[in-house]
Structure 1
């Protein structure tokens, strides 16, 4: 799993779109009163709390201690724990596992699917959205080109994300005992907050894996090169856009 030094304050201040766009995913989840539900990769807890308003018994887990600490501050009446999506355990079988914008951070998808499967009761559902094939392709290409220009020979090896096609992910789910009821891949160009600083904020929030060996000066140089190369395509009306493509799935444990 990618170790990202999550900045919970920057996440909440400039990247609220992560959970705001996830709100309509709750319609697919359709949580019901007294259902036991896990929010997998809950971040700072906003969608966990929305699930709880349905009367469900909900818990959030995330592998980032900073995110869980902030979630506990935000919603002290709910349970949040630090846990790894690849090997988490639950006390009782769940009616549903929900996940928004988390699974593309884990390059061991089979381990995640196995953990979700074992956590669900028979007939339980897995409802998730995450980055799909082609997600942030323009940003990734610009980043890796800029890194090559400053002497990083194989920047592709630093890529922290897993963006599968529908066919690949549905096949993995079926292999591990799920019946895939719904799957869709769609483009969702996403405006970034803070006008001119939007792309820099996004890179500093989500693409830090590319920068682990760089000085601050080199990081700023790379970000500047990315902005320059993307301005004609992803900067519109004084707002930066992220070229998101999302995959959504609903699968039931057989």
Structure 2
């Protein structure tokens, strides 16, 4: 099955790209510049495409992103520290981001004769991001079948939608994902900060999966305190 992977350059999407390359026919990686706080993750997506020997498309969504205001990922708002599931992480929601990206990716797939668009949404995203939940992905897949009826047959592939980030680490390790060549941190410094929601979630996932974490964190031990605070310990 010829498959496009939406790739941010993060652990989840790069692991997915390696999984698709091993199991199906990976045709290209598609990334989006929507005016996020930093472009560092896009460099890691480009490296993944080069490593896997496929084209890499970066879609410029900056004018659209400028209109999707109110998120710590696009505006001059501090990125909160703490566990990903905390209520404060809702400030990182970019409204309708995945819906917009997927619609574009489906158009790219249809134009190029691909069979599927794969995205790495996972169970840990459900609490915060509505366009990562199964109800959304199933409805979107049905909508695209209607949108492309008679022109192309493209399906939405979401192999992680009912799985945890620890499961993604396990799958990534299975397919030889170079985890050090992925970027998760929202803050975009020289190293992963170790304190933002994605850093805490990333560090916890490696621990739960029992896979060594090669990531360099500025604060490598904060994640334990963040998890303890979430659990009320």
Calculate the TM-score normalised by the size of structure 2: 0.40
Larger Rg: 1
Greater share of residues in strand: 1
